[in-house]
């Protein structure tokens, strides 16, 4: 076969494959298609300790009620730090582990894990301290995450570094007035300014496969813990965080209809990414979890077939047939 003919066949074949790729994208959803392929090709048995990340623009509002658990822990830590004049040496370690565990108890199974992570100086007895609780196989396990994970100075620890690197001079604050008693005697009111974290102060990490530890797909939300410098200005002292379990979250690749009762705002980016043929209708199959291909294609005669890959066979089959003929 001469070079000119070989190049012509190769270009024609590439055009066929490009046409298939364009069809898959369906209106510019390239990032969703890329993410689906990563999900499909990420498995526990291929873990090497590195995480697979999905570069997706998502709506996390479905988990607002769970983020409040982390926000509560963060603001409680801020209060303790203030009451203990910047350090928490007098508070037993178990207190912090219990706070992390209570979040998992309250939010399981959606909340896979919860924790706190502190800056240097909050504890004199530890350089790093990150009490952590996670739920697996019906058991909540507790351990100090900092024993196996450097978070204070690592830009890879996005859940921590993103909040640490922000300027918190304008952190939200409120004036509190406390009226206490000493036995039967009133104590003069104490007025103090307290800083606190809100949902808007938090940071969501895009979905990632927690390779080598939980071996599941997670998203993480973290919110800042504050202290105060000698002048009363807010200072960053750590974070409270939660990890949300994605494994039981279904991916719906069918078109988004106005009357669709299965709408999931968080994962709407995947809608319309199915590969059903034009003369068939995509039928969502719930209950398959965070995976590609949770649908069937309804034929004109009412029968079903899973078309995940059928279009690939047809497209590549055409290209292969043309290649053989030209060859």
Q: What is the pLDDT of residue 195?
A: 96
Q: What is the pLDDT of residue 27?
A: 43
9-44 tens-digit pLDDT: 443 444 333 444 434 444 447 889 999 999 988 876
Q: How is residue 96 written in tokens?
A: 């912090």
Is residue 63 within 8 Å of 221, Cβ to Cβ?
yes
Report how far residue 54's alpha carbon sits from residue 56's, in angstroms, rounded to the nearest whole number: 6
3-state secondary structure of 165: coil
Q: What is the pLDDT of residue 51?
A: 55
- Walk me through the domains of the chain, giving residue ranges and CATH numbers: 3-40+265-326 (no CATH), 56-245 (3.30.450.20)
Is residue 255 within 8 Å of 268, Cβ to Cβ?
no
Q: What is the pLDDT of residue 319?
A: 34
Report how far residue 197's alpha carbon sits from residue 238's, in angstroms, rounded to the nearest whole number: 11
User: Per-residue b/e over 180-194, b at no fewer than 16 CB within 10 Å?
Assistant: eeeeeeeeeeeeeeb
Strand partners, 221: 204, 242
Q: Which residues of the chain, if any, have pLDDT below 70?
A: 1-28, 44-51, 258-265, 300-327
Q: What is the pLDDT of residue 163?
A: 98
Report how far residue 193's alpha carbon sits from residue 35's, in angstroms, rounded to the nearest whole number: 45
């Amino acid at each position: 076969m001469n070079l000119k003919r070989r190049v012509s066949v190769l270009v024609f074949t590439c055009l066929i494959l490009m046409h298939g790729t364009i069809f898959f994208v369906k209106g510019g959803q390239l990032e969703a298609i890329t993410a689906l392929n990563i999900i499909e090709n990420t498995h526990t048995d291929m873990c090497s300790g590195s995480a697979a990340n999905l570069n997706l623009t998502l709506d996390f509002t479905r988990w607002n009620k769970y983020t409040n658990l982390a926000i509560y822990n963060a603001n409680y830590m801020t209060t303790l730090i203030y009451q203990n004049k910047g350090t928490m040496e007098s508070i037993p370690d178990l207190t912090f582990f219990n706070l992390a565990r209570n979040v998992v108890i309250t939010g399981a199974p959606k909340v896979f894990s919860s924790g706190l992570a502190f800056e240097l100086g909050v504890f004199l007895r530890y350089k790093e301290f990150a009490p952590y609780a996670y739920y697996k196989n019906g058991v909540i396990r507790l351990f100090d995450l900092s024993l196996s994970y450097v978070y204070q100075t690592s830009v890879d620890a996005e859940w921590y570094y993103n909040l640490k690197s922000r300027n918190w001079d304008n952190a939200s604050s409120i004036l509190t007035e406390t009226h206490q008693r000493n036995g039967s005697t009133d104590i003069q009111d104490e007025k103090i300014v307290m800083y606190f974290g809100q949902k808007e102060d938090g940071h969501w990490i895009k979905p990632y496969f927690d390779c080598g530890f939980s071996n599941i797909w997670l998203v993480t939300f973290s919110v800042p813990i504050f202290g105060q410098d000698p002048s009363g200005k807010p200072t960053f002292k750590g974070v409270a965080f939660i990890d949300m379990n994605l494994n039981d979250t279904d991916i719906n690749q069918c078109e988004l209809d106005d009357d669709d009762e299965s709408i999931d705002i968080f994962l709407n980016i995947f809608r319309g990414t199915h590969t059903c043929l034009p003369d068939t209708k995509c039928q969502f199959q719930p209950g398959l979890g965070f995976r590609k291909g949770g649908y069937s294609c309804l034929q004109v005669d009412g029968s079903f077939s899973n078309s995940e890959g059928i279009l690939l066979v047809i497209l590549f089959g055409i290209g292969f047939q043309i290649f053989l003929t030209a060859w």
